[in-house]
Amino acid sequence: MVKEEIRGTKSGTGKGNALRKEVIVDTNALLIPGEFGVDIFDELERLGYLHIIVPRVVLKELDKLRKRPGLKGKEKRAANVGYSLLQRYTPAAAQRDERVTIRSRISIEEAAGEEEEKDTDEIITALALKRKAAVLTNDENLRTKLSQAGITTVYLRGRNRLEEGE
């Protein structure tokens, strides 16, 4: 019962649900702050998402991206900004530095399929279905797959805000 109150019961399963609480973040979504200057955490909070889930596979993908030889300029900066934000705003960071405030709960989680090295999109889709969570992504192909599965998506709209869709 307590867990249900925290997570909600209709989390991300359709447009307009009052209890949306969880959102899974895709790798490209973590590039939004560095590319467009949009605070995705503030925007997610504005949309009512209080628990932000980052699959460990996404964190690994972002780390690999930021360390990729030849990545320069805006892309490199965006990858570094996204990685730094996660490092700064996870609960472990708050324990290290009391000045860090966490408005939304951000967790980095293992997801089924990571050990078999499944495709990141498959892992995110399966996790979203299991958790009944929305997904923050700008990947059109993933958004289409998620929509077909009835999963709410959150995406960048107008280069300055996040918006929900199905």
Q: Is pLDDT larger for residue 114 or for residue 1? A: 114
Per-residue pLDDT at 122 exceeds 90: yes
Q: Which residue has the higher pLDDT, 8 or 62?
A: 62
pLDDT at 16 over 60: no
The torsion angle over the Cα atoms of residues 130, 133, 135 and 140, rounded to 10 degrees, is: 60
pLDDT of residue 140: 94
User: What pLDDT is recorded for position 12?
Assistant: 43
User: What does the pLDDT look like over 36-48, one tens digit per residue?
Assistant: 999 998 999 999 9
Task: Give me the number of domains the chain comprises.
Answer: 1
Return the higher-pLDDT residue of 133 and 69: 133
pLDDT of residue 21: 84
Write down the pLDDT at residue 7: 33
Residues spanned by the domain of 122 = 2-165
Please state, as a whole number, how many other Cβ atoms lie within 10 Å of the Cβ of residue 128. 26
pTM check: above 0.85? no
Q: pLDDT, tens digit, for every residue of 95-112?
A: 555 554 555 578 888 887
Q: What DSSP assignment string belongs to the chain?
A: -HHHHHH-SSTTSSTT-TT--EEEE-GGGGGHHHHH---HHHHHHHTT--EEEEEHHHHHHHHHHHT-TT--HHHHHHHHHHHHHHHHHSHHHHHH-TT---SSEEEEE--TTTTTT--HHHHHHHHHHHHT-EEE---HHHHHHHHHTT--EEEEETTTEEEEE-
Here the CATH number for the domain that contains residue 139 is 3.40.50.1010
Mean predicted confidence (pLDDT) in 132-161: 95
Q: What is the pLDDT of residue 4?
A: 27
Better pLDDT: 12 or 162: 162
For 18-63, the pLDDT digits (tens) are: 455 899 999 999 999 999 999 998 999 999 998 999 999 999 999 9
